[in-house]
A and B are shown apart, each in its own frame.
Chain A
Amino acid sequence: MKVNRKDVASAFIFLAISGFFAMYSLGTLSMGRPSQMGPGFFPVAVAAILALLALIILMKSFGSEDTSIGAWPLRGAVFILVAPLVFALMIRTAGLALTIFAISLLTAYASQRMKLTIALPLAVGLAVFCAIVFIWALGLVMPILPPALVY
């Protein structure tokens, strides 16, 4: 039997989202009355609609043609998605310049074609550029260099 696996997968993701919001609301938030809705009323209603839509997607997935999902750029995804986490960890202690240098190197290597001779100047250039533009020109309040070193 034909099944569109993309539709099945998206239906389950929507069901999971719906389930989370419904359970959280029912467990911790008050529903109130229609004339005085509590914080849980609307989320539960929308979650119910989402669950219904997910079930329709699931039903329609049976009997429809499967389509290719294409390549997953695993290496790229890991490097790109880790970069904001590294930024979040570094920015307070390492300052802007080092942080940008680090995440630029990291994201540059998301591309399989990156070479050190490109990545290094790019990371240095971006670090300098961001320091100039964001801190000197736009006046954002962030340390450029590691605060612990400067003081």
Chain B
Amino acid sequence: MEFAFLDHLGLGFATAFTIGNLGYCLVGALLGTLIGILPGVGPAATIAMLLPVTFTLSPVSALIMLSGIYYGAQYGGSTTAVLLNLPGESASAVTTIDGYQMARRGRAGPALAIAALGSFAAGCFATLLIALFAPPLTRVALMFGPAEYFSLIVLGLIASVVLARGSLVKALAMIAAGVLFGMVGTDIYTGAARFTFGTTEMREGISFVAVAIGIFGISEILRNLENERDRDVSVQPIGSLMPSREDLRRSAGPVARGTVIGSLLGILPGGGALLSSFAAYALEKKISPRSSEFGHGAIEGVAAPESANNAGSQTAFIPMLTLGIPGNSVMALMMATLIMQGIVPGPAVMGNYPELFWGVIASMWIGNLMLVVLNLPLVGLWVRLLKVPYFVLFPCIMAFSAIGVYSMALSTFDVIYISVFGLIGYTLVKLDCEPAPFVLGFILGPMLEENLRRAMLVSRGDFSVFLTEPLSAALLFLAALAILIVSLPTINRKRDEVFVED
């Protein structure tokens, strides 16, 4: 019965293969490569900046372009990691270890080729995986009532911080703070104005794009300004791109394992590209017969994390597209794009907008193909971009951000939020609080409240409904278990270790 997925993919390719959508896919892949290569400009900030522009596009085209930026950044990030020993993208941090060592030995070409080919293989697999697993998940989600949805969101939020780095309590506090700020504006049930200080501007709520730009974009710029120095642009020579037969043979296993790890971790909330690459590297190092070569230019140490981060960046779409629950901040932005376009993300998307759902998935495969072509032969061109000094970049970022936020509602109030949340975001980042949970709380807060109120209405005010409904109870139990396990001192230490490059 699952052969229906071929029809679905057919519809998807028909949608993605229009001239316009191919164009947006290419633009997304190009932009993604660009910001992936440039250190200090991340996909979350870029997508937030471009989100207002996509307002003029159709929902499919908007999502195709923005997702291209996300997985494109994974390709670009590896280039900087290998040639410059700098993570162009946080998810490529672990690639610098062996990638740069390979480059110093004159083997930058094969490292880049394996990174791109591994990413491509992972991308193809992840695309198939989404096509196979999304429909059954959607069917389950369609049976959810408000109580189940409330518990699912709680689980999603908690799981997203359990797998992230840093202090658990602080991350939970960031979620709660995000939820609170997400409630500013008119209460949809009663029409009461909440936290608006009596102004009409604030009744619309706080612009999510302004929050995301402030929290990711502005604090990224300020962090880069902390320590201004010349970027070391002594790029390693690339040499021949062709990997040897030996390289290919040694990479096959790591690519396959990296793809599987990345795909699995990508689906989990809080997973996505970053965690996937770290976990894949750690695993290869543990099981490889050549583990002593790791850190000295082992090709496995490039193949595994680069495949994993690409797979993870794609399967992260599964919970967002099927359940309407974003697992990381980039997915939160994708969700905001859909909401802006008038589409409520959730299980209904696949049935109501099949061309959107399958078109985006098919575009990922096309985009991955484009990226291999863009990245391998043109790598010399991209590397020249690294010579652009950072102080030229951030005035551009500021200008685009301000115009983008203003253009959404022509509200000067929204532009001011950029400063407010830039200051809040940067201060909290300085205090070791991760910004992503705040953004997830902000976008999921209203859904959390709505489902809580609906569930309580149905149960006539009986709070025990969350525990007597078996599915809801199971979800809450999982959430509690996740917190419990991570709070155990031994696990907690292990969790820190995963993110420490040794």
Interface, chain A (partner B; CB < 8 A): 6-7, 9-10, 13-14, 17-18, 21, 24-25, 29-30, 33-40, 42-43, 46-47, 49-50, 53-54, 56-57, 60, 67, 69-73, 76-77, 80-85, 87-89, 91-92, 96, 100, 103-104, 107-108, 110-114, 118, 122-123, 126, 130, 134, 138-142
Contact status of A111 and B391, CB under 8 A, knowing A53-B176, A140-B403: yes
Quick check: B426 and A111 within 8 Å, CB to CB? no
18 further contact pairs, Cβ within 8 A, besides A9-B431, A42-B449, A80-B222: A6-B431, A34-B456, A37-B452, A40-B194, A46-B445, A54-B173, A71-B227, A73-B226, A76-B221, A80-B398, A80-B422, A81-B218, A83-B419, A84-B402, A108-B391, A118-B391, A130-B399, A141-B410
Could you list 27 examples of A-B contacts with CB < 8 Å?
A10-B432, A10-B433, A33-B461, A36-B461, A40-B194, A42-B183, A42-B449, A42-B452, A49-B176, A67-B432, A69-B430, A77-B222, A80-B225, A81-B218, A83-B398, A83-B419, A85-B415, A85-B416, A88-B412, A103-B395, A107-B399, A108-B391, A111-B391, A122-B392, A122-B395, A126-B396, A130-B399
Complex interface: chain A residues within 8 A of B430 (CB): 6, 69-70, 72
A-B contact count (CB 8 A): 200
Complex interface: chain B residues within 8 A of A53 (CB): 169, 172-173, 176
A60, B167: Cα distance in complex, Å: 11
Quick check: A14 and B403 within 8 Å, CB to CB? no
Residue of chain B at shortest CB distance from A53:
B173
Residue of chain A at shortest CB distance from B392:
A122
Contact status of A35 and B460, CB under 8 A, knowing A50-B180, A53-B176, A111-B391: yes
A108, B400: Cα distance in complex, Å: 14
Cβ of B407 under 8 Å from chain A: yes
Residue of chain A at shortest CB distance from B218:
A80
Chain B contact-residue range equals: 35 or more
Quick check: A87 and B422 within 8 Å, CB to CB? no
A92, B415: Cα distance in complex, Å: 13
Quick check: A46 and B176 within 8 Å, CB to CB? yes
Q: Which of the listed residues A9, A34, A85, A108 has the most CB atoms from chain B within 10 Å of its own CB? A: A34
Contact status of A39 and B410, CB under 8 A, knowing A80-B218, A84-B415: no
Residue of chain B at shortest CB distance from A35:
B461
Quick check: B225 and A138 within 8 Å, CB to CB? no
Residue of chain B at shortest CB distance from A88:
B412
Shortest distance from the beta carbon of B161 to any chain A beta carbon, whole Å: 11
Interface, chain B (partner A; CB < 8 A): 53, 56, 167, 169-170, 172-173, 176-177, 179-180, 183, 187, 189-190, 192, 194-195, 218, 221-222, 225-228, 390-392, 394-396, 398-403, 406-407, 410, 412-413, 415-416, 418-419, 422-423, 426-428, 430-433, 445, 448-449, 452-453, 456-457, 459-463
Complex interface: chain B residues within 8 A of A113 (CB): 228, 391
Contact status of A108 and B56, CB under 8 A, knowing A53-B173, A77-B222: no
Quick check: B173 and A14 within 8 Å, CB to CB? yes
Residue of chain B at shortest CB distance from A108:
B395
A30, B218: Cα distance in complex, Å: 36
